[in-house]
């Protein structure tokens, strides 16, 4: 379950620390209730759609300014100004959902992170999306937060740049680390490419006790 002499656990964020399907249902109704009486704003709906679609399509993409390019792709698709795309995306992707994250968290996440901390194990997050405000909303504190759009990374998973940055900054060997994520095709391959052990979130048990079980196993391992 855990590598021997574990010193660092890195978490993906979306779908790993919280139930993404639950959040998407909430946001679906929020978006529909906002735009249904405002059909003249249909292009904003397309902006959200293409922003997410283009990001998914560009898995493994690397560039010199990913933070800016992610908005540019949707702007070019829709013939919009990049500032307008940023306004829509910052509202519906990076701001409004944060209010609902706490209620969508998997049980035991905070307890597991505290258990790691009390065991002297460092923690970090690595997500394709900027997750700093998300972590604040979930009241989760880690030792290091890294996103694919950070200037020091500038590449999407499954490229391993983000994990390698974390290992370098924290000066911890990959064999003493563990990456926990919910998508093998992105998180799992990213870990594999970085040479880091990987644990896939079981979405069948995560809404009940996946992280609670991890805490119990960590306590058991510490006793042995």
pLDDT at residue 220 greater than cutoff 90: no
pLDDT of residue 218: 86
pLDDT at residue 4 greater than cutoff 90: no
Q: pLDDT tens digits for 139-169?
A: 999 999 999 999 999 999 999 999 999 999 9
Query: What SS3 state is found at 93?
Result: coil
Domain boundaries, the chain: 8-19+105-223, 22-100
Other CB atoms closer than 10 Å to residue 7's CB: what's the count? 16
Q: pLDDT tens digits for 75-85?
A: 999 999 999 99
Separation CA 153–CA 158 (nearest Å): 12
pLDDT of residue 78: 93
pTM, two decimal places: 0.94
Range with the poorest average pLDDT among 83-87, 108-112, 218-222: 218-222
Is the CATH number of domain 8-19+105-223 3.40.50.1000?
yes
In our burial notation (b when 16+ CB lie closer than 10 A, e otherwise), range 58-92 reads: bbebeeeebeebbbebbbebbebeeebbbebbeeb
Separation CA 213–CA 92 (nearest Å): 34
Q: How large is the average pLDDT for residues 124-152?
A: 97
Residue 36: CB partners within 8 Å, gap ≥ 6? Answer: none
Confidence of residue 223 (pLDDT cuts 50, 70, 90): low
Residue 145: CB partners within 8 Å, gap ≥ 6? Answer: 124, 125, 131, 132, 135
146 contacts 153 by C-beta, under 8 angstroms: yes
Separation CA 132–CA 1 (nearest Å): 28
Q: pLDDT tens digits for 15-55?
A: 999 999 999 999 999 999 999 999 999 999 999 999 999 99
Residue 39: CB partners within 8 Å, gap ≥ 6? Answer: none
Q: How large is the average pLDDT for residues 85-93?
A: 97
Per the prediction, the chain carries an average pLDDT of: 94
Residue of 158, 131, 177, 173 whose CA lies nearest to 16: 131
């Amino acid at each position: 379950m855990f590598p021997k002499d574990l010193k660092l656990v890195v978490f993906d964020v979306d779908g790993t620390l919280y139930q993404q399907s639950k959040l998407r249902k909430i946001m679906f109704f929020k978006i529909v209730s906002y735009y249904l009486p405002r059909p003249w704003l249909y292009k904003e709906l397309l902006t959200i759609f293409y922003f997410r679609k283009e990001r998914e399509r560009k898995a493994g993409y690397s560039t010199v300014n990913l933070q800016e390019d992610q908005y540019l792709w949707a702007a070019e698709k829709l013939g919009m100004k990049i500032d307008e795309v940023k306004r829509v995306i910052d509202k519906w992707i990076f701001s409004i959902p944060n209010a609902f994250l706490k209620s969508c968290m998997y049980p035991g996440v905070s307890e597991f992170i505290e258990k790691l901390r009390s065991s002297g194990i460092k923690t970090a997050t690595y997500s394709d999306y900027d997750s700093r405000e998300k972590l604040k909303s979930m009241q989760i504190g880690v030792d290091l937060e890294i996103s694919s759009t950070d200037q020091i990374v500038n590449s999407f998973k499954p490229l391993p740049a983000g994990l390698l940055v974390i290992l370098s900054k924290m000066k911890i060997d990959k064999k003493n680390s563990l990456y926990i994520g919910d998508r093998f095709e992105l998180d799992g391959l990213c870990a594999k490419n970085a040479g880091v052990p990987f644990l896939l979130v079981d979405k069948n048990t995560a809404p009940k006790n996946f992280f609670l079980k991890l805490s119990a196993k960590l306590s058991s391992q510490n006793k042995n």
